[in-house]
Amino acid sequence: MSSHRSSASGHDGPSQSAVSDNSKFKIQNSKLCFVCVGAGQGSRFGSDKLAQALGERTVFESALGALVTAIPAAPLVVVVAPDRLQEWRNLLRPDFPEALFVGGGARRQDSVRAGVDAAIGLGSEVVAIHDAARPLVDPRDVLSVVNGLGGADGAILTARVPDTVKRVATDGLVAETVDREGLRLALTPQVFRVACLQQAWDATGGESEWTDESILLENAGMRVRSVVAHHPNPKVTTPSDLRGIRILAEVTG
């Protein structure tokens, strides 16, 4: 990894109290676009996790609703599996009539690229990329990470590490206890300046694979800011995740 200045420093972005009102959306003139990625196959879940019910909405609808609530004026690109493009458009368009639906790729990074390309076509200069499998993201946290971009090249929503962390050797023995003060868990949305993201993509030569786009900016020496979430933002990966999220939604809703 490069010597980027980001979440590893332990110094996070602005507090939520400073950005809790969407009237304080600071980069509205930067042509922000949301890109919500839901093109995966859900193999670990065993079925279509995004179509599962979460209260009166589906997982997918809940994730999209949080983004639109945070910044209603921002364009929304929804990335889905190409063979289900028309199906998802029919299901989601009644609640999100202004959304642009595009087909994704074989890998998450391919789907993100398709969504960002669509956002560029809309004239966007900043993209906020969100995983549709995170349906409980709070609109206030969405706004916080968007405003947290500031003068940086990217900003990612993060969570503090609550548990003691151990580094384990190859023989299974504990090697050390890791100081968790500067550790953060990466969540979404992740916000990037389009020009910086394109530069980071170009630097990979198209050969690498990555789990999130912030890694690319980090490796290119760009500045990625951590903005700590103030509300739960779990991801649906397995059926047990969904059960826990449903309980959490009832408690917090």
Question: What's the pLDDT tens digit per position in 178-214?
Answer: 999 999 999 999 999 999 999 999 998 767 889 899 9
User: 131-187, pLDDT tens digit by residue?
Assistant: 999 999 999 999 999 999 999 999 999 999 999 999 999 999 999 999 999 999 999
Residue 76 is encoded by which pair of tokens? Answer: 């929304």
Distance CA 167, CA 181 (A): 15
- The answer to the question of residue 42 being in a domain is yes
211 is a domain residue? yes
pLDDT attached to residue 204: 87
Residue 97 scores a pLDDT above 80: yes
Domain around 200: 7-252
pLDDT recorded at residue 40: 76
Q: Does residue 244 have a pLDDT over 50? A: yes
pLDDT at 61 over 80: yes
Query: What is the arithmetic mean of pLDDT over 99-103?
Result: 98
Task: Indicate the average pLDDT of the chain.
Answer: 89
| pLDDT for 206 | 67
Residue 165: CATH number of its domain: 3.90.550.10
Does residue 128 fall inside a structural domain? yes
Q: Domain for residue 193, yes or no?
A: yes
Confirm whether 194 is domain-assigned. yes
β strands within the chain, DSSP E = 32-38, 53-54, 57-58, 76-80, 100-103, 126-131, 154-160, 165-168, 174-178, 184-193, 224-228
- pLDDT of 109 reads 94
Is 1 within a domain? no
Least confident range from 19-28, 42-51, 61-70, 189-198: namely: 19-28
Q: What pLDDT does residue 219 have? A: 93
Provide the whole-model pTM: 0.89
The reply to whether 2 falls in a domain is no
Our count of domains for the chain comes to: 1
